[in-house]
Amino acid sequence: MSLMPFLEVSQAIALMGGDSLYQCMQCGLCSGLCPWPDVESPFRTRKLMRMAQMGLEGFESDEILYACTTCKLCVVNCPRQVKIVDVVRAMRAMIAESGATPPSLRPIMGSIHSQGNPWSEPADKREAWTEGQDVPRFDGSQEYLLFVCCTSAYEKRSQNIAKAMVKILKAAGVSFGIIGNEERCCGEALRKMGDEEQFGNLAEKNIKLWADKGVKKIVTTSPHSYVTFSQEYPEFGSEVEVLHYTQLVKQLLDEGKLKPANQFAKKVIYHDPCYLGRHSEVYEEPREILKAVPGVELLEYDRNRKKALCCGGGGGRLWMETEPEQRFSTHKMRQADEKGAEVVATCCPYCISMLTDSAKGENLDEKIQVLDVAEILADSL
Ligand code: SF4
Ligand code: SF4
């Protein structure tokens, strides 16, 4: 067999942003930290890197290339600084170009393209969650655009996070507004599924919308939007300052603009979302917010911060089927129970969704609540 097709595949991956794959020396340390081998999956990070280097076929299945949640845990262990998540993204981009993205992800990509959200909801209902509330609209005069991610805009459970954020920002006297129906998805899921072209179009549209509206600073509800806007949109010319809400809220607490008063006397274990933790290195702000709420007893998972186990919902996995025993969120709920937690707190809508489903699946939903840090804080104001 000719070597050319092999070279072409690995070169294509490198050209699409996965060029660090050549640094891989096949030590296998990444596979040792990746959560998949612990749940009896055939997926091995080292093997995927080998397949990428050699251009070997057979990596494009749900169980291999699309198993990766892009949690970045493997990168912590890599002695050669291989940008494994970028290699995965590049491999998926190559598959997307050939039209072979897994069928379960195609409607999600189509919905983002046609409606500006992954939930197959109408674009003109994006701000429906604000009905009956006084939520300011961004008109260029406010300091912050509050970017409510698609999940918190459309999904019923998650809308409470957006409402909690409005309550917090108002209580602190922050000048803010939402854009609402004119807004589109940040595009993070599109990029992780490999649709680079649509992602680029979306980024350019969002950046233009912000310029037209006079947006200078954004505070996001989701760590995925935060990473996308702060680390990826600059490639497309964005100069907007971006914060995840936990960073802004921590500042507001320090400045004495927020004074949590109501007791929340519960044992709360904090789950680090991968995109706020490893991808952004924001570990302490959410914990400081929880500690500022009277009555909270903060617990920790054995593996926390840099080594925290992912919920399993990133990299498009939120929309893919996973066997119950293979759901990382199920293991996180069991571990929370073993620690005696009454609440699992986190600050990412994907994590909330995954953990809530696993709490139900494990019959732990009456024993352990899954709450966003913003919800806990808003209730204490
Ligand atoms: S990013 Fe996470 S799921 Fe993907 S290979 Fe690395 S550790 Fe495994
Ligand atoms: S840890 Fe890094 S160098 Fe070692 S196999 Fe994994 S990607 Fe390659």
Domain borders along the chain are: 4-97, 106-251, 259-380
Mutate to test the pocket of ligand 1, among 41, 69, 75, 303 (most ligand atoms within 8 A of CB): 69
pLDDT in tens, 307-339: 999 999 999 999 998 998 999 999 999 999 999
> What's the pLDDT score for residue 98?
87
Q: Is residue 364 pLDDT above 80, yes or no? A: yes
> What's the pLDDT score for residue 59?
83
CATH assignment, 4-97: 1.10.1060.10
d(CA 117, CA 128) in angstroms, rounded, equals 14
- Which fold does the domain 259-380 belong to in CATH? Rossmann fold (3.40.50)
The tokens for 275 are: 């995109």
Residue 72 CA to ligand 1 center (angstroms) comes to 6
pLDDT in tens, 164-179: 999 999 999 999 999 9
pLDDT in tens, 108-163: 999 999 999 999 999 999 999 999 999 999 999 999 999 999 999 999 999 999 99
| Assigned architecture for domain 106-251 | 3-Layer(aba) Sandwich (3.40)
106-251 with 259-380: one CATH topology?
Answer: yes
Residue 326 CA to ligand 2 center (angstroms) comes to 23
> What's the pLDDT score for residue 6?
52
> What's the pLDDT score for residue 309?
97
Per-residue pLDDT averaged across 373-381, rounded? 98
Q: Is residue 7 pLDDT above 70, yes or no? A: no
Q: Is residue 2 pLDDT above 70, yes or no? A: no
Per-residue pLDDT averaged across 71-90, rounded? 96
pTM of the model: 0.96
Find all residues with CB under 8 Å of 132, minimum gap 6, and list them: none
Mean pLDDT of the chain: 95
> What's the pLDDT score for residue 47?
95
Determine if ligand 2 sits within 6 Å of the CB of residue 80. Answer: yes
> What's the pLDDT score for residue 258?
98
Q: Is residue 237 pLDDT above 50, yes or no? A: yes
Degrees to nearest 5, angle at CA 244 with 240 and 247? 110
**Closest ligand 2 atom to Cα of 81:** 2
d(CA 52, CA 293) in angstroms, rounded, equals 48
